[in-house]
Amino acid sequence: MTAQLAEPQEAVDRPDRQPLAGRTCLVTGASRGIGRGIARELGRYGATVIVNYRSSEEAAQEVADTITDADTEGTAYPVQADVTDHGELTTMRETVRDMVGPIDVLVNNAGITSDCTFANMTPEEWHRVIDVSLHGTFNCTKAFYDDLETVDDGRIITISSVIGKQGNVGQANYAAAKSGLFGFTRSLALELADSGTTANCIAPGFTRTEMVEAIPDHIQDDLRSEIPLERFASIDEIAGLVRYLASEESGYITGEVIDINGGIDL
């Protein structure tokens, strides 16, 4: 039996309270997919959101406009930077500080796939994924580390994947990068504990994004059959967890890898 999946809702209505008002949140890779949903959710709850993008300027501007134009206290600014480029990240950091001051929340979301069985994987395909998904997370965290160490209730939230735990055929590069984020997050949590800043990792399972929707229907059916809840996650479900971890209420959670995968690893 295949469960019917309702289309995810991209709500922008004003919630009853604005728990992220006064917080500045930077989301990498925020012009589409899960990053886009995260940025919108944080803005919906009152945050100032830095919408980072590498090349999709128009899409990033649309995300920022949606946040700023909504009936909430949130506002947003698109800022370009390639997370693999130290120089661009330095420029982004200075641009953000000039616009809004230090950030309170960093969401490391940027990542790519380049799927190929290991026997056929080239060094270029390996390094391309590692450079964005793992090195890019290091680079961006390094660029904003001083902010996050000194602000009150700072938050580092890194988006990994269930593939980092389970592995997957044709994704040795992606699995290695996403698995590496677990140890990175736990080490940061220990080093930042005295400052009150927390570091946590989210490991989503299959999520209804453009990438998943491009998978042939019969393969989607096979994937859903392996998930106890018999459906993919919605972007809103991932974004809601990020929003909670960005809030003051999550202050006693740190160093955790939080699964949100419909029970696929049970």
Instruction: Report the C-alpha gap between 108 and 146 in whole angstroms.
Output: 16
Other C-beta atoms within 10 Å of 10: how many?
15
The DSSP call for residue 135 is: I
Dihedral, CA of residue 48, residue 52, residue 53 and residue 57, to nearest 10: 40
**Rg of the chain over all Cα atoms, to the nearest angstrom:** 18
CA 110: distance to chain centroid? 7
Instruction: Report the C-alpha gap between 75 and 203 in whole angstroms.
Output: 27
Instruction: Report the C-alpha gap between 89 and 95 in whole angstroms.
Output: 10
Q: Is 252 a catalytic residue?
A: no
Which of 45, 77, 174, 244 is an active site residue?
Answer: 174
DSSP 9-36: P---SPPS--TTTT-EEEETTTTSHHHH
- Smallest CA-to-CA distance from 257 within 193, 167, 163 is with 163
Burial 58-75 (b: 16+ CB within 10 A, else e): ebbbbbbebbeebebbbb
Other C-beta atoms within 10 Å of 48: how many?
27
What is residue 80's three-state secondary structure?
A: strand
Annotated catalytic sites, by residue?
A: 174
